Amino acid sequence: MAILLNTTDQEMLDGLHGEATRLAMSVVVRMAEVLEATELMGVTQAHIDACGFLSDAGLEFAETLAAGGGKVRVPTTLNMGPLDLQDWRRFDVPEEFAAKAIRQGRAYEQMGCIPTWTCAPYQGYLTPRFGQQICWGESNAVVYANSVLGARTNWYGDYFDICAAITGRVPKQGLHLTENRKGQLLLRLVDVPRQVFDDDRFWPAFGHLLGSIAGDEIPVIEGLPDWATDDQLKALGAAAASSGAVALFHGVGLTPEAPNVEAAFQGDQPKRVVDISVDDLCKSYADLSTGTDGDRLDAVVLGCPHYSFAEFRRLVELLESQEPKSLHPGVAFVVITGQQSYALLERTELLTKLASFGVKLSRDTCVLHCPIVPAEAKVIMTDSGKCAYYAPGDLNVDVIFGSMADCVRSAAEGRVCREELPWKSV
């Protein structure tokens, strides 16, 4: 099917804006054909997932675009990469791998990308506005942008993202269009009392359940409290985009496209209705762990997605109230974050307090892509539904999902110790 192109699109495709732009536009047009879109549309921001070095092909692609004069046309941020750019030697990253990762990062910077290096771009620089058309990669960022901010993006894959940033164009289809953003199934939280929502373990546990029920459909959730914080919604979305392929959810009375159920479904009826009980939440919580309480602990990993300044502040409060006030020998405690949260930490005493407990910080990177977890680790603990979902397969470890407080206590005691779920007796 022929794609309707405007004059500038056609010029780009004909090579009048340089070789890199021609290549990028050819990818955008081909993608439009595959998706059966009939025309392209503009985006005004991009977030690049392909910036992290994964293969020589990815490096070659980035350097080819940069050498061909590729420049992004819209403000473009970078997702995490495979190493802490300041301090990668501390994490046993091989020299040759680091050299290629740094080259790839430079290629993206040369194209005009902003070196944010974070998987939580919505909590930092250039947070998109409601209704803004954007092209974002990284699953947790996509679901947050669509659901919590009401910006509009599909879940874009590696290498397409930079082509869209260079051309400022994407196929006109999917979640960019109002009619494709309506809810498809209704999830009702039934008889779930306030104390469950107050427990931070609820948000990843519910997200994990949400993803497994919704798959790639758009769920509308009834019963979430309207006071949910950015960090709680971040945890929910990241887990839902891991166990499922959720790119957009609506929280009735909470998220901007769902002031009520009718609006969330744009007047249509849900295809199905699923009731969620406290028992279902308990099962989902249990499902996020492969190890057991009492296991000897090798590492705690927090910051998946990257920790915000508010999360660090809470972490330090917990560290200060903990006895003993230091890490158990043999346990590694790593928190991953982005440059902006780190810069705020540097302006406070929090950085020193984290270090004095034995917490290591890693910037710019990811638990699954950088050897943050020691190679000999067998049991790790996390407060992240996403990390808990992927770590057993990707890192070959047993994982225990717990609250931030559980992680701190376990790190000090050297074994997994979690507070009982108070929801069980609800």
Contact residues toward ligand F3S (CB under 6 A) are 80, 119, 140, 238, 304-305, 336, 366-368, 386-387
Cα angle, residue 278 at apex, residues 310 and 227 outer, rounded to 5°: 35
- Amino acid letter for position 281: L
Q: How far is the CB of 107 from ligand F3S (least distance, A)?
A: 20
Q: Give dist(CA 126, CA 145) in Å, integer.
A: 12
Q: What is the CA radius of gyration of the chain?
A: 22
What count of Cα atoms within 13 Å lies in the side-chain half-sphere of residue 239? Answer: 28
H or E element, residue 21:
helix 19-34
Q: Kind and range of the H or E element at 272?
A: strand 272-276
Cis peptide before 329 (omega within 30 of 0): no
In the bound complex, what is the minimum distance in angstroms from residue 184's beta carbon to ligand F3S?
A: 25
The residue (of 386 and 409) whose beta carbon lies closer to ligand F3S is 386
For ligand F3S, give the closer residue by CB, 169 or 386.
386
Helix (H) and strand (E) counts in the chain: 16, 14
Structural contact between residues 44 and 133, judged by C-beta atoms closer than 8 angstroms: yes
Q: Which CB atom, from 81 or from 291, has the smaller least distance to ligand F3S?
A: 81
Cβ proximity to ligand F3S, 206 vs 307, nearer residue: 307
What's the Cα-to-Cα distance from 199 to each of 90, 191, 339, rounded to whole Å?
A: 34, 16, 28
Residue closer to ligand F3S by CB (options 370, 408) is 370
Distance CA 78, CA 366 (A): 13
Q: At what angle do helices 230-243 and 385-395 cross, to 10 degrees?
A: 40
Beta pairing, strands 40-42 & 169-171: antiparallel
**Under a CB-based contact definition with an 8 Å cutoff, are residues 398 and 416 in contact?**
no
Q: In whole angstroms, how close is the CB of 269 to ligand F3S at the nearest point?
A: 34
Instruction: Compare residues 379 and 387 and give the one whose CB is closer to ligand F3S.
Output: 387
Nearer to ligand F3S, 118 or 173 (CB): 118
Closer of 27 and 288 to ligand F3S (Cβ)? 288
Task: Report the nearest approach of ligand F3S to the CB of residue 159 (Å).
Answer: 17
- Compute the distance between CA of residue 1 and CA of residue 3 in angstroms, rounded to an integer: 6
**Alpha carbons 119 and 304: distance in angstroms, whole number:** 8
Please, which residue, 213 or 366, has the CB nearer to ligand F3S?
Answer: 366
Q: Which is nearer to ligand F3S, 37 or 367 (CB)?
A: 367
List, as one string, the DSSP characters of 212-264.
HHHTTS-EEEES--TT--HHHHHHHHHHHHHHS-----EETTTSTT-SSHHHH
How far apart CA 192 and CA 253 sit, in angstroms, is 16
